A and B are shown apart, each in its own frame.
Chain A
Amino acid sequence: MTSVLDMRLFWFSFWMYLAAFVLFTVYAAVRSRGLGLSATAVFLAAFALQTAGLVARWIITTHPPLSTMYEYALTMSWAVALSFLIVMARFRRMVLGVIVSPVLVLVLVIASLLPKEASKQLMPALQSYWFYIHVTLAACAEGAFIVAAGAGIIYLIRRRGDGEKEFLPSHDFLEEIISRSLRIGYPLFTIGALFAGAIWAQYAWGSFWSWDPKETGSLVLWLYYTLLLHQNMRGAWRGKTLAVMSVVGLAIAIASFVGNLFFGGMHAYV
């Protein structure tokens, strides 16, 4: 069954995010407050359209939009956009949009390439409340990792003491954004992707852990962020190292996310 309304809203939001990305880029170049506000307004409109699209898909399919990779990517990008808007509302840093909007466009481009069939019927293995816990928390966690990577990229772009201070956020501020995002993402990922996933696997497949490629990818990602936070908490990986590592973490997260397209296994849903 194909739905028209949610697809239209998806494409509208996609083009709006793209427009916001262009406006944020021009804003970064000319540093005009008016342009920044326009970019933020377009971003807000895109977010509203995306939210409407998600709600429409939820109504059409009669289940939360989490059952396919397209829906997962959509929900994850929505979580990223929401995080950005919360950070914006709190810290009034429009420049973060320069990084968040292209990342969002990238995720939505990936989503646009995935099959978008809307099915009312969840496959039997997905008919469990653990599905909603597992996938929602994993999507939010990966959204937080994306925000951390975005802040990491700005951290690396910003040079210390070169007169950019007024425009780009300070290194301390960016480090706090990275740190907070990781500290939000890590527990969500641990509880949602690993623990809830393992418990659900026990009910659905009779085994907590099967070394399925997606499971292994999640373990690799979890170990990576465990190492990163372990080092960060003991004061070893801070500043530039933290920024670089958060960007590398996103690369592993993407590999884990798209892995089931190539690796197969029990998580081979598209």
Chain B
Amino acid sequence: MNEKRKGAGGGFISYRFAAAVIAILFGASMAGWIATELVPPDFLERLELYRNAWGTTVAKLVSIFRLYDPFHSFWYRLVLALFFVVLLLCIATRWRQLAMRSWRAAPPAGADELRKKRFSFEFSWRLLESGAGAPRDPLVRYAEQFGRAEPIGMESLRGHFSCIAALLEKRGLSIVSHEDASGIRFAASSGRWRSPGTMLFHIGILVITIGGVIGSFGGWRETMLVRVGSSVPLPRDSTRAIRVEDFEIVTTGNLEIKDFISTLSILDSRGAVVASGAVEVNRPMKVGACRIYQSEYTIDENEFERSRIGYSLRGSSRRGTFDLVPGASARIADSTVAVTAVRFIPDFRMGPDGPFSASSFPRNPALEVEVAYGGETERGWLFLYHSDFNRPFAAPVELVLDRIEPVYYTGLEVSANPGSGVLFAGFAAATLGLLLMYLCNPRVVKGAAGADALVVAGTEYRWKASFEREFAALREEIRKEIGQRGCS
């Protein structure tokens, strides 16, 4: 695909212009990539702050060029549109040229056209036949010396050609030939699927762009946090709702998270279950045109279903457990001690401003309780996994947190993308195109076998150095093969 071929084939968009557009898209993407790191996404919300810090002009420029979200800005969309139009025009105006190139190469018009090629060689039949070390025929030597190669008969020529054809076929080249009174002209080629591959790849990228545009304008996604046991309407569908039946965090023995699983039911307008299933990370659930994804989860601080507290009364052998629910007190049997849940933290950490939750995952659940005894109250933390750190109370009771059931909110993402089928088609076309482009090694060897001489020329489309080696090897093989035939 060099400049000469471009000129020969023609096209509305030149290769140079297409390259310039790719370069512009590269530059725009690079600029956007850098901009997203320099300009915070909350720029608009904190405009005044940035205006003071950066100055009015810079803040105005950031706003105009939407540098806080560059990939949805007018200038980036303009560059994408330019890329799309140029790609479309390239395909529309060059498809015939590329499709034609996929056919078998045509034999040359004559030997002169071959002599101009970079990779070419010429043999006189008589010299070839005489072999490398064989004594030369004096007549042949005389004729060659004065620039006239000695001709051979048509039968010999056919024999030599079949020998050359076998050598070319052995190298994976398929041959077309044409015989007339002047001799045999042939073209041997391989990897001709590269051109359709190139076309398919370009079409694939175009289709992907179209799919992206359809998805961008016609698609939507919404995230929601749903409490286990509750229902929410299915976004953009007034007739159906999602009910979260269960949410489970699957962990390994050392509390590494294996999976999040939400069990969902889809309800119709009357509340009847029309579909149900489990949603896991990487395993969405399809409901009509949309899909439901497991995206995140959370545990609300202070909120828990119930907890079980173990107690032992000091000075007595009495031990037992009692359940504690949020907002309610529990009195320990045979005592005047009352316990109330104050605060729950799923992943307890102590910071400079007091306790906080390091994450939503119950890695270190802790419950703050208030113990009332003899008119006095005191507060302390109870830890599920680290009871050694439990607060010792002045009241004659020791408490341990046996179990706590947090209230989970599963994070679901519901999305629909009408362009996804188009995108998959684009991926398939572009992948197939790429494989054809890069697995095929296109090369053409053309030759004109006249009555007196053989002229062969080769054209490489990819590996100059390796084709040079291959062409030299082919030359040597032809020389040896015809020499042996001539000697025999």
Contacts and interface: CB of A to CB of B under 8 A. Distances in A.
A20 to B, nearest CB: 27
B203 to A, nearest CB: 14
A183 interface: yes
Interface string A120-154: 11011101101000000000000000000000000
Nearest to B416: A206
A227 B22 contact: yes
A160 to B, nearest CB: 15
A38 interface: no
A92 interface: no
B81 to A, nearest CB: 16
A179 interface: yes
Nearest to A213: B36
A127 B281 contact: yes
A263 B36 CA distance: 9
B37 A230 contact: no
Contacts of B430: 190, 195
Interface stretch (B104-112, B257-265, B371-379): B257-265
Contact of B22 (A1, A121, A130, A226): A226
Closest 7 CB pairs of A and B: A235-B2, A124-B281, A121-B256, A223-B26, A206-B415, A176-B465, A172-B465
Interface of A: 1, 119-121, 123-125, 127-128, 130, 170, 172-173, 175-176, 179-180, 183-184, 186-187, 190-191, 195, 198-200, 202-209, 211, 213, 216-217, 219-220, 223-224, 226-227, 230-231, 233-236, 262-263
Contacts, number: 134
B269 to A, nearest CB: 25
A25 B6 CA distance: 45
A120 B29 contact: no
A213 B281 contact: no
Interface in B260-291: 260, 280-284, 291
Nearest to A231: B19
A206 B282 contact: no
Contacts of A173: 465
B464 A124 contact: no
Given A170-B465, A220-B26, A234-B19, 15 more contacts: A125-B281, A127-B259, A128-B282, A172-B465, A175-B465, A176-B464, A206-B415, A211-B36, A216-B32, A223-B25, A224-B26, A227-B19, A230-B19, A235-B3, A262-B37
**Residue in A202, A209, A213 with the greatest tally of chain B CB atoms within 10 Å:** A202
B134 to A, nearest CB: 35
Interface stretch (B171-179, B400-408, B434-442): B434-442
Nearest to A252: B30
Given A206-B415, A207-B221, A119 B465 contact: no
A227 B26 contact: yes
A200 B19 CA distance: 30
Contacts of A191: 431, 434
A120 B431 CA distance: 33
A1 B259 CA distance: 19
Contact of A123 (B16, B18, B257): B257
Nearest to A172: B465
B281 A204 contact: yes
